[in-house]
Amino acid sequence: MRTVSANSPGLLQVDWPHAAPGPTAHVVLLLLYTATALLTLVLGLDRPEGWAVWPAASLGAGIGLGAVCRCGIGMLPAVAIAAAGANLLSGIPTVEALGVAGAQAVMIFAAVVLMRRLRFTADLARFRDFLILVVFGPGLMALVSAMAAVVLHQGIAGFTLGSAARAWLAMGTGCILMAPLVLMARPHLREHHSRVGPDGYVMILVLVALMTTSQMRGLDPELTTSLSYAVLVAAAIIAMFQSARTVAIAVAVAGLAGAICASLSFGPFDHAADPDQRLLVLIKLCLTAFVALSVSAVRAEHQRLSRQGSERLNRIARSGEARAREDAETRIAGELNQPLTAIRTYAQTAARQLARELPDGDRATLRRALQGIVSGTERAARSVRPRGEGTALPQTEVESFVHQCLGEAGRELASRRIWLRKTIESGLPPVLVSEAELERVVLLALHISIELAVENGTQRSGGLQLDCRLDAGKGLVLIEFRVHADRRRSLAAERSPGRNRDWLGWIERLDRFESEGGYFSLREEGDQHVIRIGLPAALDKQ
């Protein structure tokens, strides 16, 4: 029996729409942008000097982000064109309007990439999706937009030759100070398999340079502000191209660099004149570093758990292979047993006859027995092939095996804060399933249970329940995993094709297990997901 309910969430997988948007979508987008720009101008909501910043970050960019979320990344050129048209209406120079439009397209692209990394789903089925859409998307866009505005309006003009030299000096000092830290972090990164290529190190150094420069004294205040923005933008850019762990470490290193620079009292970092401000900056930067390192630690833990999940799937696959080998060996053994049975039976019969001291007349019978032995031996010789050790009888003590599996999974469950409540009936009979096959199905059930528990936030609503008992009527040992089902989640969301349900494929491959009397079912019962494994029990019928 196999039952797989449609309500089977897996790991999240973002799937943006890829269909090419039609001309109607383009026209609607253009009209919306134009209407928004005109309305803003008529109502006088924007100061002229801020035009390139705030409308882009709020109204227009919001429309652009919505269009990309709704119609796919193919809308991005249309967004750039619409933004250029809307900005031209405000009367700013064409070059500046094109620059703003380009920046807007870039920031929407950046926001979309970041949202994808945060596993945003466009169907907004979860509160998390709203949070990502409302906070991260516009927040990041505002930063990019602000940076673009500062560069366009003030950046080049405010960066004099003298301040440039001081800035380079600050950057160089910061990099030299941080180089040992980066080198110290390398083995740590390697240990956790977070590969940081040369580009990653360059990005980290850029972030450090920007951070140290922002702590310089004597710069134009506008430029200092823009550098502060630049730190955040650089962190966002690193987030697009590097792993979250690398980003966290980069931010931590940059924060520490800033803290060290802020504590210096010489050259470009002469903060002695304003000790209070210096202390404030120090605290802020240390906190930044602490938060970044915490994020890094959490991320590392998530990666470790994810690795454990992958390893479990690999073990399931290996168990399947072991089972296939076992099947092959069993077939060979079964084939070999046929002639062996004949040989043995003939030989035993002959021995019986000899023991009875038959008269000469029965020699024909013995001759027949001997001929049978000879032909059987020849056939056995033909059947013998080089092979490994013969497989043992497929009987497995389920109780000790389940304890062993749970012991291995215990640390992972604890890490995920999933508490396990288990009820294992004592005196369970062994099951007529090989250990490899049992490992495969139990690990699969455990994997699905953990996935479901994590997806449904079971940490807060009942944990994972395991029951092992004997169904004597059906001659089965039942292993049941029960996980609380989140009723608030829509079935439509669960069925979305973007969901990663890799384990469904594994369930489909349990034919062999089921052909030998076992069953594996996944279904909803009340407010619980129930995974039930039925194992044929070796019951003594005598």
Site of interaction with another protein (CB under 8 A): 327, 330-331, 333-335, 337-346, 348-349, 352-353, 365, 368-369, 372, 375-376, 379, 390-391, 393-394, 432-433, 475, 516-517, 536, 538-539, 541
Identity of the residue, 50 or 372, whose beta carbon is nearer to another protein in the bound complex:
372
- Among 450, 494, 523, 425, smallest CA distance to 533 is for 523
Contacts by 244-248 with C-beta closer than 8 Å and gap 24+?
244/117, 244/295, 244/299, 245/189, 245/192, 245/194, 245/296, 245/299, 245/300, 245/303, 246/189, 246/194, 246/196, 246/200, 246/204, 248/292, 248/293, 248/295, 248/296, 248/299
For the residues of 458-482, what is the DSSP string, one character each?
GGGTT-EEEEEEEETTTTEEEEEEE
Q: What CA–CA distance (Å, rounded) separates 121 from 129?
A: 6
Q: How far apart are CB 14 and another protein at their closest, in Å?
A: 44
Residue indicated by tokens 């004592």: 426
Residues in the chain: 542
Backbone angle region of 489, left / alpha / beta, with phi > 0 → left and psi within -120 to 50 → alpha: beta
Q: With 0-12 CB in 10 A as exposed, 13-18 as middle and 19+ as buried, what is 81?
A: middle
Task: Tell the burial category of 334 from Cβ atoms under 10 Å away from its Cβ (0-12, 13-18, 19+).
Answer: exposed
- Comparison of 337 and 400: residue with beta carbon closer to another protein: 337
Nearer Cβ to another protein, position 437 or 451? 437
CB of 247 to another protein, least distance (A): 53
Single out the residue of 93, 104, 96, 94 nearest to residue 33, CA to CA. 104
Nearer to another protein, 258 or 339 (CB): 339
Q: Smaller CB distance to another protein: residue 326 or 451?
A: 326
Would you say 220 or 327 has its CB closer to another protein? Answer: 327
Q: Give me the least distance between CB of 507 and another protein, in Å please.
A: 20
42 versus 381: smaller Cβ distance to another protein? 381
Minimum distance between the CB of residue 477 and another protein, rounded to whole angstroms?
13
State the nearest-atom distance from the C-beta of 432 to another protein, in Å. Answer: 4
For residue 71, the minimal CB distance to another protein (Å) is: 56
> Could you tell me the smallest distance in angstroms from the CB atom of residue 534 to another protein?
12
Residue nearer to another protein on the CB measure, 24 or 542? 542
CA 18 from chain center: how many Å?
22
Alpha-carbon dihedral 75, 80, 86, 92, rounded to 10 degrees = 180
Minimum Å gap between C-beta 521 and another protein is: 19
- Distance between CA 250 and CA 334 in Å, rounded? 62
CB of 475 to another protein, least distance (A): 5
Side-chain-side CA neighbours of residue 271 (13 Å): 20
Q: Which CB sits closer to another protein, 365 or 500?
A: 365
Cα–Cα distance measured from residue 407 to residue 400, given in angstroms and rounded to the nearest whole number: 10
Inter-residue contact 189 to 238 (CB < 8 Å) = no
User: 263 or 377: whose CB is closer to another protein?
Assistant: 377
CB of 326 to another protein, least distance (A): 9
Q: How far is the CB of 372 from another protein (least distance, A)?
A: 6
Q: Are 204 and 179 in contact (CB under 8 A)?
A: no
Contact 216, 171 (CB under 8 A): no
Burial (CB < 10 A; 0-12, 13-18, 19+), residue 63, is buried
Q: Which two tokens stand for residue 103?
A: 């920046």
Q: 306 or 365, CB closer to another protein? A: 365
